[in-house]
């Protein structure tokens, strides 16, 4: 994966906030659902804040192995299959409310999603941490790369010239 | 689900072209990936055209039960959790190349995604048909509805005043 592709990946993760989650139910059937996400400095953890009333939350509590796909939105012209996207596979764990890890993650989350602050006051919401294990980045048509969490960490350090 | 919500759902499916797919691998682990989609007149079938080189295609060939989530893109302001989205669960089947069903689906697909025509000339591409079985529509924050394929068909007949 060249430097240009790494920049595309870094920009993708930083610019988006809304992604799709794949979970499995008790029968092993998949569910795709939309979730907001945030992440820490080196992208070694992603944060998802969801209600226990949602199916995907119940799935994650029972089967913590999930996949999250972050994609650049389609603007409605051209072929969307050329748009960059990354699938992040890994395991989620619940951050215990008001633990240090929870408060750090909450701060990261609210920095990106300030309008969702009230949800942290709701008793049914859980803050999950996803630790990336396997990543598949598609930088454009027929430009797919498998990458490690280490490469993702390198990408997270790149300056986007913002 | 009231008329206003039905219109939001109808508009969502018609205006978007790029969605996220949840599949499972042989070990039952989920994968989230982005795919383009098209659909027929009454939304009783959705079409996905993907390469056999992709993991999600291999998964669908082995485990045809999938979930597709279509969401309105985040514009980067406010809380994305208020955005409408629908998760469509069902079973995919391969449309045999050059069968009548294949040609009808291809025409629908190219009507929405004209720039992807060349992919129909590639031997590794497969056109799948997804028959919706279970639907979960979230019209906004805390506005979730489970709906049947029949309700989806009703929505597909609504005029959006376009």
Contacts of A78 in chain B (CB under 8 A): 115
- Residue in chain A closest to B73 (alpha carbons) equals A73
Exposure on the CB side of residue A88, measured as CA atoms within 13 A: 28
Say what the pLDDT of residue B141 is.
Answer: 75
Interface test with B, best of A11, A16, A20, A90 (most B CBs within 10 A): A20
Contacts of A24 in chain B (CB under 8 A): 24, 28-30
Residue B60 burial by CB count (10 A; 0-12/13-18/19+): exposed, middle or buried? Answer: buried
Contacts of B17 in chain A (CB under 8 A): 74, 76, 80
Digit-coded pLDDT (tens) for B49-70: 999 999 999 999 999 999 999 9
Contacts of B71 in chain A (CB under 8 A): 18, 20, 34
CATH number of the A3-73+82-151 domain: 2.30.110.10
- In total, the C-beta contacts within 8 angstroms joining chain A to chain B are 137
- Residue in chain A closest to B109 (alpha carbons) equals A79
Say what the pLDDT of residue B71 is.
Answer: 98
The list of chain A residues with pLDDT below 50 reads none
- Selecting from A29, A73, A89 the residue whose C-beta is nearest the C-beta of B31 gives A89
Helix/strand/coil percent split, chain B, to 5:
35, 35, 30
Say what the pLDDT of residue B142 is.
Answer: 76
pTM for the complete prediction? Answer: 0.96
For chain B, give the percent of residues with pLDDT over 70: 99
Could you tell me the pLDDT band of residue B151, with boundaries at 50, 70 and 90? Answer: very high
Spatial separation of the C-alpha atoms in residues B93 and B153, rounded to whole Å:
20
A3 to chain B nearest CA, in Å?
A: 23
Contacts of A66 in chain B (CB under 8 A): 30, 32
- Asked if residue B119 has pLDDT above 70, the reply is yes
Say what the pLDDT of residue A162 is.
Answer: 59
CATH architecture of B3-156: Roll (2.30)
Structure tokens at B10: 């109808």
CB–CB of B30 and A34 under 8 A?
A: no
Residue A42 in 3-state DSSP? coil
Cβ–Cβ < 8 Å for A139, A9: yes
Would the CA dihedral through A161, A149, B72, B16 be positive or negative? Answer: positive
CB–CB of B20 and A113 under 8 A?
A: no
Digit-coded pLDDT (tens) for A102-112: 999 999 999 99
ipTM topping 0.90 = yes
Say what the pLDDT of residue B162 is.
Answer: 58
Question: What are the residue ranges of helices labelled H in B2-148?
Answer: 3-15, 55-62, 100-112
């Amino acid at each position: 994966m060249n430097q240009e592709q790494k920049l595309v990946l870094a920009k993708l993760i930083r610019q988006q906030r809304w992604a799709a989650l794949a979970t499995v139910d008790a029968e092993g059937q998949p569910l795709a659902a939309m979730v907001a996400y945030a992440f820490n400095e080196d992208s070694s953890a992603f944060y998802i804040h969801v209600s226990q009333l949602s199916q995907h939350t119940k799935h994650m509590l029972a089967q913590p192995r999930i996949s999250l796909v972050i994609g650049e939105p389609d603007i409605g012209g051209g072929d969307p299959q050329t748009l960059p996207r990354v699938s992040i596979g890994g395991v989620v764990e619940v951050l215990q409310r008001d633990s240090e890890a929870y408060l750090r993650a909450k701060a990261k989350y609210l920095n990106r999603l300030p309008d969702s602050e009230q949800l942290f006051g709701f008793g049914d919401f859980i803050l999950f941490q996803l630790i990336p294990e396997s990543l598949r980045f598609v930088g454009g048509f027929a430009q797919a790369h498998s990458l490690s969490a280490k490469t993702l960490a390198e990408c997270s350090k790149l300056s986007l010239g913002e």
